[in-house]
Amino acid sequence: MSEAKYDLIVIGGGPGGYAAAIRAGQLGKKVACVEMERAGGTCLNWGCIPSKALLKSAELMASLQKAETFGITVGSVEYDFAKVIERSRGVADQMAKGIEFLFKKNKVDYIVANAQVTEAGAITLTEGDRKGESLKADNILIATGCRAKVLPFLPIQGERVMTSREALVMKKQPKSVAIIGSGAIGVEFAYFLNAFGTEVTILEILPQLVPVEDEEVAKVLERSFKKQKIHCELNIEIKEAKVGKNSVTIDYVKKGKPVKLEVESVIQAVGIQANLEGALAESVKLELDRGFIVVDGRYETNVKGIFAAGDIIGPPTLAHVATYEAIQAVNGMFGHSEPKRVTNFPGCTYCLPQIASTGITEQAAKEKGLDYKVGKFPFVASGKAVAANASDGFVKVISDPETGEILGAHIIGNDATELIAEFCLAMELEGTIDEIHHTIHAHPTLSEASAEAAAATGNEAIHI
């Protein structure tokens, strides 16, 4: 078997893996990236990117249906569901080609295969055209990410029972669907399918939608979904599910009463788990916590020379966090800069209305016994939001009453996922509520709501 020696081998080609490989290439290192499917990993090929393409189609559909509000008559609106799906796959393909180009540009050896770490400094390719080949490296970075969890009583079948992966390539639009789980993936698919007329029911065992988000945000989303005729069943317990030829029947309990729901299809969005299967030889004993790899402040595992970054090291399991961690790990291992661990990051959900947040929720502040102040500004008081017929939601900011330090920010509304960056930057720079308030924001813009929310902390907001 042939052998090759690298400065770094990255296992996994997702937002963590490809970023690590490219960054090492920028530093002039000899690097290989081993990806079992295609450059971009789950996020680019089966997650973030194709799902956003679907959601853009849903957003356009919703806008056309409301065209009369803007004085525009469009008549009957028709769509081709297969083309909607096809377009999303085309977007994913285009972006994957872009990553492959960046690999070439930065002289990264891109290998499509499964890989197993056999010892510190060595891997073996276990699948693909180069199966059995050994590769050597001074450093190995594991960035294999996560995969969807599946309920044990509801195995994935394809058309009837799906995870987000199968749903992204569904050949036929279901007339009715139950979505189990109301995190970001669950509510995004709920919005997408509902926009095209599928009857959607969300089943959530916890008492609120998007459980990691601020309680007030969740309540606004629930009200909005109700207006959109998305049925939300919260605080329920699923007892049983039966998959038939043409439907799935789910038995659950709500407020002590049994409920039976029959739908054409089910999408499971019940979380993710570490994707390490086959990645480590039995002799490689990495320290794990709930299946995730444990690393130190430099992203190094308990085995010298083996590093890990991204979802595989545990929450927050977000693509942009994975990219940050991977770049930090590479900069550190090659002495470019002292690596940092993640502290401040945005979380974004692309349903309608959009949700974005950073820092702690108000509930968390209460539970920690923190002294805090809240500033809140509704989009109904924003001229830009009203003009755009997108006045649902608000900006909410939590701060320290003594120093003005921003502890958290929570936005639900139009373009929330773009607006959150201002608060992330402010928190990174240890900015204060007053500095947001006294920064001149262009009028009319949605970003004015951020300044007004900051001003509302001290009862100085002008437009409420």
Question: Three-state DSSP class for 439?
Answer: coil
Measured CA to CA, the distance from residue 179 to residue 221 in angstroms comes to 16
386 is written with which tokens? Answer: 């009203």
Q: Which domains does the chain have, with CATH numbers?
A: 3-147+273-333 (3.50.50.60), 161-270 (3.50.50.60), 353-456 (3.30.390.30)
Assess whether pLDDT exceeds 50 at residue 1. Answer: no
186 is written with which tokens? Answer: 């669950």
| 64-70, long-range: CB < 8 A, 24+ apart | 66/389, 69/389, 70/389
> How far, in whole angstroms, is CA 177 from its chain's centroid?
22
Measured CA to CA, the distance from residue 445 to residue 292 in angstroms comes to 42
- Point out which residues pair with 308 in neighbouring strands: 142
Confidence of residue 75 (pLDDT cuts 50, 70, 90): confident
Please give the order of strands across the beta sheet that includes 199-203: 161-162, 265-268, 176-180, 199-203, 231-233
> How far, in whole angstroms, is CA 24 from its chain's centroid?
25
450 is written with which tokens? Answer: 């951020």
Cβ atoms 42, 173 nearer than 8 A? no
Task: Please give the pLDDT value at position 128.
Answer: 82
CB burial of residue 452 (10 Å; 0-12, 13-18, 19+): buried
pLDDT tens digits along 94-145 = 999 999 999 999 999 999 999 999 999 999 999 888 999 999 999 999 999 9
pLDDT tens digits along 407-421 = 999 999 999 999 999
pLDDT tens digits along 438-459 = 999 999 999 999 999 999 999 9
Measured CA to CA, the distance from residue 347 to residue 211 in angstroms comes to 12
Catalytic annotation, pick one of 410, 438, 443, 463: 443
379 is written with which tokens? Answer: 């989009």
Let me know if 410 is a catalytic residue: no
Measured CA to CA, the distance from residue 46 to residue 358 in angstroms comes to 25
pLDDT tens digits along 334-389 = 999 999 999 999 999 999 999 999 999 999 999 999 999 999 999 999 999 999 99
